[in-house]
Chains A and B, each alone.
Chain A
Amino acid sequence: MTVLELAQVTKTYPGNPPVSALRSIELSIQAGELIGVVGPSGSGKSTLLQLAGTLEMPTSGLVRVAGADVSQLSDRDLSGLRACHIGFVFQQFFLLESLSALDNVAAGLIYRGEPRGHRLQVAAETLARVGLGHRLGHRPSQLSGGERQRVAIARALVGRPSIVLADEPTGNLDSIAGAGIIRLLRDLNAEGTTILMITHSSDLVVDLPRRVELLDGQIKSDRRSP
């Protein structure tokens, strides 16, 4: 089943001259895949992630998430799509300091209208899944960088989205913590989670089952491991 489809997608930012961030992108991701998108700075990988996450709209072309053409959706439906089908993991974590790890993860379900008790229960289970079952009441400032990113991953996973979009998830971590996060993403994928990860480091994606290389806004290669 296709969970994300980009067809002839172009993204151009206005300016003088206009900046072409993505050109004629064709990408289709099936449920259960783990894809690494790699490319140097300015290659368009962040723009690709934002379009896939419906945080931005393409200048032209089709973006389809969970079967829905995002250009046809209202703000409410787009928001619902993000709430139910897309999980985000950011390089800067974006955790709320005033909330505990448990509440931060439960916040991932807040716009799905689920009761607080249920949210907290699922959040606790998800934190246990990423190895932080013992850190539920800790504030972000009381956690290490690797633990914060695990909390952010738990928040992305808590709603069992169709796809998790990870933007340089190891960018703010040391090599040991970064390797731990990559291991976690692989484990989650092995359990059935679809993950699209972007990174500038080729080393991180070399072992991934599918690797897409971007250069100057175009897909240079799309390789799958045998």
Chain B
Amino acid sequence: MPHSAHALRRSHSGAHLRKSDLLSLASLGPRTRRLRAALSAGGIAIGVATVVAVVGLSQSSKAQLLAQLDLLGTNLLTVAPSQDVGGPQATLPKLAPAMVARIGRVQEVSSIGQVNAHVYRNDRIPDANTDALTVYAADPDLLTTLQGHMAHGEFLSAATNRYPAVVLGAETAQTLGVDRVDGATQLWLGHHYFTVIGILKPIPLAANLDRAALVGFPIATVLLHADGSPVTMYVRTDPDNSLSVASVLAATVNPAHPAAVTVNRPSDALAARAAAKDAFQNLLLGLGAVALLVGAIGIVNVMFIAVIERRTEIGLWRALGATRFYIGIQFITESILISLLGAVVGCLVGVVTVAVYSHQRQWTTDIPPLALVVIVACAAIVGAIAGLYPALRAARLAPIDALRSA
């Protein structure tokens, strides 16, 4: 150690800045120039609010979808004939429902059958105006199997399925302008008048039924010349064994040609929608990141101006004993504080946005706390990076040059 440094260390221990004083010094700039600090924090706030809102809304919506999925269950399977493009409507063997019901772990089986008829408001409507509505014959226990609910009236029963009675899907009722079940509303179906006895609520796991009109199998056979063959079967299984049941369904329904049978799990589509939301979320998160970047550039700009404006102050701190490192860390901390201010405001705005929107949509607000922590931490890192170069410039200022600028 050189003699002079040794002599110095005998008399003092070098410059030292306490952490609490570092925070106090770093907040001096923002406290003195509040509007400027607020405006530069605004950029970060917009970015963070965007990210929080995207994560929160996406998560809340996804949570809603998954809750719906839980409610509907993942143990419903649909069985349908494989379709040949341009070929005639294929059907399943008539005995298929009975055979499927014998599979262990199968709790319920219901089916719908194809009916070559269309439904109209009355007999004055031209045949071509089908409104893309479909008529199916349906089992009385279809509603139970699908865990569907009636909006109005009743579903088909062993009593009503022998008579010209029809149950409308939610969209069918809307399309035909039927909004109540009074026992007097009749629809023109397959050249016969059918009385509306019920209107279904939307059925998420069998959305095709929303645009269908359902009649009983017996009346469909008698009046509409249906052959009673199922076109789709709905199979409710033991919840833990839906996949194993699915693997044997095709061979059970059509042992000779299992490939002619398609088995689906409709809940997979809902799960896919939930997954698709993740992909969309990534896109929006990208936009939030861009907003954060713009906010960071704003902070770089403000910090550069601060270094130029506060040259004298920097010179004073150096004269009072600040090392280059302390000057640099003061400016980086100031940048982080501005960024954190923006992040906290952004989080509040984002959370309120998600809460209000979720409330309106009757969703449960779901913002993962970890996401908020990560976002605030990211904002702090962005602030540190944004303040780095201005801080280096401040630290490199020679004390006497800084004081001369006064």
- Assuming A79-B322, A82-B320, is B14 touching A98 (CB within 8 A)? no
Which residue of B13, B15, B20 is within 8 Å of A116 (Cβ)? B20
Tell me how far the C-beta of A46 lies from the nearest C-beta in chain B, rounded to whole angstroms: 9
- Assuming A94-B312, A111-B16, A113-B17, is B5 touching A79 (CB within 8 A)? no
Quick one: closest B residue to A94, CB to CB? B316
Q: Are A98 and B31 in contact (CB under 8 A)?
A: yes
Chain B residue numbers with a CB within 8 Å of A82 are 15, 318-321
Chain B residue numbers with a CB within 8 Å of A85 are 11-12
A116 to B25 alpha-carbon distance, docked (Å): 13
Asked if A187 is an interface residue, CB under 8 A from chain B, the answer is no
- Assuming A81-B12, A83-B15, is B4 touching A53 (CB within 8 A)? no
Q: Are B321 and A68 in contact (CB under 8 A)?
A: no
Which residue of B8, B17, B317 is within 8 Å of A66 (Cβ)? B8
Chain B residue numbers with a CB within 8 Å of A50 are 400
Asked if A72 is an interface residue, CB under 8 A from chain B, the answer is yes
- Assuming A69-B4, A73-B5, is B18 touching A79 (CB within 8 A)? no
- Assuming A55-B399, A69-B3, A85-B11, is B25 touching A110 (CB within 8 A)? yes
Chain A residue numbers with a CB within 8 Å of B9 are 77
Which residue of A55, A79, A97, A110 is within 8 Å of B21 (Cβ)? A110
Q: Are A64 and B4 in contact (CB under 8 A)?
A: yes
Asked if B406 is an interface residue, CB under 8 A from chain A, the answer is yes
Within 8 A of A (CB), among B2-54: 2-5, 7-9, 11-18, 20-21, 25, 28, 31-32
Asked if A36 is an interface residue, CB under 8 A from chain B, the answer is no
Within 8 A of B (CB), among A84-115: 84-85, 88, 90, 92, 94, 96-99, 107-108, 110-113, 115
Asked if B313 is an interface residue, CB under 8 A from chain A, the answer is yes
Chain B residue numbers with a CB within 8 Å of A116 are 18, 20-21
The prevalent SS among residues of B at the interface is helix
Q: Are A68 and B5 in contact (CB under 8 A)?
A: yes
- B interface residues, tally (CB under 8 Å): 40
Chain A residue numbers with a CB within 8 Å of B317 are 111
Asked if A224 is an interface residue, CB under 8 A from chain B, the answer is no
Chain B residue numbers with a CB within 8 Å of A207 are none
Asked if A75 is an interface residue, CB under 8 A from chain B, the answer is yes
Asked if A56 is an interface residue, CB under 8 A from chain B, the answer is yes
A116 to B17 alpha-carbon distance, docked (Å): 11
Tell me how far the C-beta of A69 lies from the nearest C-beta in chain B, rounded to whole angstroms: 3
Q: Are B320 and A80 in contact (CB under 8 A)?
A: no
Q: Are A90 and B18 in contact (CB under 8 A)?
A: no
Asked if A67 is an interface residue, CB under 8 A from chain B, the answer is yes
Asked if B403 is an interface residue, CB under 8 A from chain A, the answer is yes
Within 8 A of B (CB), among A101-143: 107-108, 110-113, 115-116
Chain B residue numbers with a CB within 8 Å of A81 are 8, 12
Q: Are B312 and A75 in contact (CB under 8 A)?
A: no
Asked if A220 is an interface residue, CB under 8 A from chain B, the answer is no
Quick one: closest A residue to B13, CB to CB? A80
Tell me how far the C-beta of A115 lies from the nearest C-beta in chain B, rounded to whole angstroms: 7
Chain B residue numbers with a CB within 8 Å of A56 are 398, 400
- Assuming A55-B319, A88-B319, A110-B17, is B11 touching A75 (CB within 8 A)? no
Tell me how far the C-beta of A43 lies from the nearest C-beta in chain B, rounded to whole angstroms: 17
A50 to B398 alpha-carbon distance, docked (Å): 12
Asked if B188 is an interface residue, CB under 8 A from chain A, the answer is no
User: Which of A69, A77, A88, A92 is packed against the most chain B CB atoms within 10 Å?
Assistant: A77
Which residue of B11, B31, B312 is within 8 Å of A84 (Cβ)? B11
Asked if B324 is an interface residue, CB under 8 A from chain A, the answer is yes
A111 to B25 alpha-carbon distance, docked (Å): 11
Q: Are B400 and A69 in contact (CB under 8 A)?
A: no
Quick one: closest A residue to B321, CB to CB? A83
Chain B residue numbers with a CB within 8 Å of A79 are 14-15, 318, 321-323, 326
Q: Are A75 and B323 in contact (CB under 8 A)?
A: yes
A56 to B403 alpha-carbon distance, docked (Å): 12
Tell me how far the C-beta of B65 lies from the nearest C-beta in chain A, rounded to whole angstroms: 53
Quick one: closest B residue to A67, CB to CB? B7
Chain B residue numbers with a CB within 8 Å of A75 are 323-325
A53 to B403 alpha-carbon distance, docked (Å): 13
Within 8 A of A (CB), among B306-356: 312-313, 315-326
Give B contacts to A, CB under 8 Å.
2-5, 7-9, 11-18, 20-21, 25, 28, 31-32, 312-313, 315-326, 398-400, 403, 406
A-B contact pairs, 8 of them (CB 8 A): A53-B319, A70-B4, A80-B13, A98-B32, A111-B15, A111-B321, A113-B17, A116-B18
A-B contacts besides A111-B317, A116-B20, 11 pairs, CB < 8 Å? A68-B5, A70-B4, A72-B3, A72-B5, A77-B14, A79-B321, A80-B8, A85-B11, A85-B12, A111-B321, A113-B17
Those 9 A-B pairs whose CB atoms lie nearest each other, nearest first: A83-B321, A113-B16, A111-B321, A69-B4, A80-B14, A84-B12, A68-B8, A79-B15, A67-B7
